[in-house]
Amino acid sequence: MSAFDFDLFVIGGGSGGVRAARMAAQRGARVALAEVQGTSGLGGTCVNVGCIPKKLYSYAAHYAEAAHEAHGYGWEGPAPSLNWATLKANRAAEITRLNGVYGNLLRGSGVTVFNAFASLQGGHAIGLSTLNADGSPGHNQVTARHILVATGGTPHVPHFHGREHVVTSNDMFDLPTFPQRLVVVGGGYIACEFASIFNGLGARVTQVYRGEQVLRGFDDEVRHFLAAEMTKAGVDLRLNAGVLAIDRQADGLHIKLEDGNTLMADTVLYATGRVPNVNGLGLDTAGVAQGAQGAIVVNAQYQTNVPHVFAVGDVTARVQLTPVALGEAMVVVDQLFGPSAGKPHRQMSYDCIPTAVFTHPNVGTVGLSEAQAREQFDHVTVFRSEFRSLKHTLSGSTERTLMKLLVDTATDRVVGLHMVGAEAGEIVQGFAVAMKAGATKAVFDSTLGIHPTAAEEFVTMRDPVKAA
């Protein structure tokens, strides 16, 4: 008889937590998982208030664009109008379905699921806080040989006058009424995505960002190109601008900027970053070390300074992407319970992580930015192509596409690949495989393109624009 109730207890039902729980149970471990929101929270941020609903709303916005562009292809008649309530209801139904899928996967794997808030109680103990049927608080305690914290992140709103009037990305999918006037504060991928989406859905969108350009950390040329395309599409982008105060008046929200200007809005979205979701977890009680903004400090095996406590995903504030959390979870499972039969232990590499930004147009990127490449290599050759896609030769849209390759001149290896344009994420994913395998520019050049596609441009660029 084991001295512990469970071999592994997972706190948090997001992507990383669910993956770890399922895979560990399939290895024969006794596993439990606690999710404070119960079944409706399974899947975490990505499924409930992140990438999945955001992509669905992006699709919705593209239909409006397609209706307008169709006239160039001979389609006549008025454009359809958005029924906000229908979009919300259909999204909610799909998210509920996905929540159920996650629940079935957990139960089918033999995982014990607690609808409870879990916290570390010291040692190997986990406290579970629930609500009884009569509404009174319930408390329980279990023990586990290993504990995995996978509670993700949460939106952060700074303190300022009028903070109570703003919403976060968590609220945007179910706003009671569609905002005809939307102000988005922030310049990261979440802010840019929501600005693009709601602009496409028909809102008058103003995006306010304190920095000199959106998407800090991305390739500079990509940043400037996207900003120009978003502006051209109708987003009023205010750079080097900050919010001083927000007041609610009879005609809406008055947003006073630091430069003295005032904006009017029905809704103000603050997308100014996310912080690890650690409040109330009892990390200090257990002696778990934390870093900036409460992020859990882990080693290369995702182990904290408390040997039986592990953490993966956004709560560690490393790379805040769902596939990263999934990969980290598998490293932990293999380490604790062994790999799948005939498979080596998983390793997690943070090199060549592809990512997409679902703006209009999309951004897809993998590898180094030009600035990063020049810091790392003595000589970098840059290939670039900018064009109007075939689709838009008849659509009437002025949207343009940017593609860029960065090559380490000494080895000929492609070290950065970037795209701004339709379906950029879909296109870049395949090239990420090639780059992970160490593909050279010569390999790209020897690969035949699929014609006519945008993707073929990556294998037909022959003349460098810069070599230094």
State the catalytic residues.
Answer: 451
Cα-to-chain-centroid distance, residue 111 = 27
Read off the DSSP letter of residue 215.
S
Q: Are strands 380-387 and 466-467 parallel, antiparallel or unpaired?
A: antiparallel
Nearest to 169 by CA among 195, 202, 205: 195
The per-residue DSSP string of 24-61 comes to HHHTT--EEEE-TTGGGGTBHHHHHHSHHHHHHHHHHH
> What's the rounded Cα separation, in Å, for the pair 431 and 256?
45
> Which residues face 403 on adjacent strands?
385, 419
Cα-to-chain-centroid distance, residue 214 = 16
Residue type, 112: T
- Nearest 5°: phi and psi at 428? -70, -30
Q: How far, CA to CA in Å, does 43 sit from each of 2, 30, 92, 146, 358?
A: 30, 21, 14, 22, 20
Residue type, 310: F
Which H or E run includes 153?
A: strand 153-155
> What's the rounded Cα separation, in Å, for the pair 355 and 260?
37
Which H or E run includes 434?
A: helix 424-436
Please give the order of strands across the beta sheet that includes 181-185: 236-238, 204-208, 181-185, 267-270
> What's the rounded Cα separation, in Å, for the pair 351 and 15?
21
